[in-house]
Structure 1
Amino acid sequence: MLLSSARVKAGESVLVHGASGGVGLATCQIARAYGLKVLGTAGTEEGQKIVLQNGAHEVFNHREVNYIDKIKKSVGEKGIDVIIEMLANVNLSNDLNLLSFGGRVIVVGSRGPIEINPRATMMKESRIVGVTLFASTKEEFQQFAAALQAGMEIGWLKPVIGSQYPLEKAAQAHEDIIRGNRPAGKMVLLL
């Protein structure tokens, strides 16, 4: 999503909402490896520490009422070049106000609808791009996998394992994801 959908360039800034999850942590690591200024959000102190340990330059607690103001203060007038959005139905409207001119919001996750003002995209000539791995071609999937494999071999990509569940507890794992009752990192089902 960073390279193909957002088309990031070294020196740009990226905000990863929900950065303490498996996808968010990998995004922070990849963004840092590609020379981006990385900001993340997490809802717990433990999550914030893990986000900082995995590439973020700064992290904000998205459970604080004024965290958007803190992000604005941190990035200044320019705004953020790319926002990786894990929960668009909650954050998209704020995301559009945080963007720089020509900024991009990459929607990775959403759990429902949201109302936005299209003028927020017009004023900054910004873009909202939805992504899903399932829409990738076989060739794209192979390219993504090769890039991730290379990152792990070189050492800048280190998967973070969070909760582990036996396969027979898959329903509980799903419920924990929905309720947010899980530690930082990628959830794993064990066979």
Structure 2
Amino acid sequence: MKGISVKKFGGPEVLTMDNNLKVPSYNDDQLLIKVSAAGVNPVDTIIRSGTFPPPPALPYTPGFDGAGVVEKVGKNVKNFKVGDRLLITSAQGSGTYAEYAVTTPLFVAHLGSKLSFEEGAGIGIPYYTAYKTLCILIRARAGETLLVHGASGAVGIASVQLAKSIGLKVIGTAGTPEGMKLVKDNGADLVFNHRDKDYVKKITDASPEGIDIILEMLANVNLDKDLDMIKTRGRIGIIGCRDQVKIEAVKIMFKEIVVTGVLIFLSTEAEWKEMHGAIEAGIKSGWLKPHIGLKYPLVQAPKAHDTVMNNPGTMGRIVLQI
């Protein structure tokens, strides 16, 4: 089969196309899936660089998210059959940047017929992270005010859509006019440009009732400002961070703020099952609609990795067409 192989850690250039990879083997508890599209996540680039602990054994094929059709089913697998359209949230032992991937039923969900495979590949980590943060860790309640920092990215768009579906008032930020429009079009009540010097004042002026929840995609830049904006006993979910964070801890103390990190890979079996149910329901009801910002053929995986980390302003999900 064809796929991407990483033989050494480094920059995007280590993502090499290989037309002679072996189709991964599957056991009685696994599914073999013919992949049509794969999602590109920032964490993929960190793993590729060798700095995400523990690093995978070399060589490896990257990719957690994807969508495709069940090709083979292990004899112990229930609820899935050959031909089912699936979304993949975590390939196990063989990544999604290839024609075939292997995983267990715990990490797949039914895609149904409403969404394309490219849209299915846009669900994975972004939507599951949004759900885990808002509904499992932070326990958002209808009527609360949510600020999504970096709302034009894949997790940001997912968070806006989910938040509106459960009755929150949503404020989003983005770094370009195009990103701001995208966030607004996906349901945000108010949108601000986080490149404006006075954007924090604009947000606080526009929300006199205060902000109950903040989802933070770049904590090393924004967390201290978030602590100024959040209500007493507010909750902050840290979804992304690229460097050390400098904050005044007394701000957390004096407001009794809850600050939690989020890592989808630490989810329990019960949490995975809850998330699958919510995501499948979201697909059926129609609130869940991934925005695919860029599509690249598989051979351009290096360009996709560079784009996901270095761009003037995120605009939804990046997918690889297998």
Which interval holds the TM-score relative to the shorter structure?
A: over 0.9
Amino acid at match of 1:170: A
In the alignment, structure 1 residue 30 sits paired with structure 2 residue 30:
no
Question: Which residue of structure 1 aligns with residue 228 of structure 2?
Answer: 97
Q: CA deviation at 1:6?
A: 1.0
Counterpart Cα distance in 2 of 1:169 and 1:89:
30
Contact 1:167–1:189, Cα closer than 8 Å, also in 2: yes
Computed over aligned residues only, the root mean square deviation of the Cα atoms, in angstroms, reads 1.2
In the alignment, structure 1 residue 153 sits paired with structure 2 residue 291:
no
- Aligned partner of 1:132 among 238, 259, 263: 263
In the alignment, structure 1 residue 62 sits paired with structure 2 residue 62:
no
- Aligned partner of 2:294 among 155, 163, 166: 163
SS of corresponding position for 1:4: helix
Q: CA deviation at 1:75?
A: 1.1
In the alignment, structure 1 residue 6 sits paired with structure 2 residue 158:
no
Provide the TM-score with structure 1 as the length reference.
0.96
Counterpart Cα distance in 2 of 1:171 and 1:127:
38
Runs of 4+ in 1 over 6 A off after TM superposition: none
Counterpart Cα distance in 2 of 1:145 and 1:189:
23
Q: Mind listing any 5+ residue stretches in structure 2 that lack a counterpart? A: 1-132
Question: Which residue of structure 2 aligns with residue 41 of structure 1?
Answer: 173
SS of corresponding position for 1:106: strand
Counterpart Cα distance in 2 of 1:183 and 1:168:
22
Q: CA deviation at 1:58?
A: 0.2
1:14–1:183 distance in 2 versus 1, CA, 3 Å: closer
Aligned residue pairs total 190
Contact 1:163–1:182, Cα closer than 8 Å, also in 2: no
- Aligned partner of 1:73 among 205, 210, 214: 205
Provide the TM-score with structure 2 as the length reference.
0.57
Question: Which residue of structure 2 aligns with residue 86 of structure 1?
Answer: 217
Counterpart Cα distance in 2 of 1:29 and 1:64:
25
Counterpart Cα distance in 2 of 1:18 and 1:45:
13
Amino acid at match of 2:161: Q
Q: In percent, how many aligned pairs have the same letter?
A: 46
Q: CA deviation at 1:181?
A: 4.6
1:41-88 Cα offsets, whole Å, 9 max, x none, are: 011111111101112000000111111110011112x42100000000
SS of corresponding position for 1:10: coil
Contact 1:102–1:127, Cα closer than 8 Å, also in 2: yes
Counterpart Cα distance in 1 of 2:146 and 2:309:
25
Amino acid at match of 1:177: V
SS of corresponding position for 1:28: helix
1:45–1:89 distance in 2 versus 1, CA, 3 Å: same
Q: Mind listing any 5+ residue stretches in structure 1 that lack a counterpart? A: none
Contact 1:162–1:182, Cα closer than 8 Å, also in 2: no
Amino acid at match of 2:193: N
Question: Which residue of structure 1 aligns with residue 309 of structure 2?
Answer: 178
SS of corresponding position for 1:2: helix
Q: CA deviation at 1:182?
A: 6.2
Contact 2:174–2:313, Cα closer than 8 Å, also in 1: no
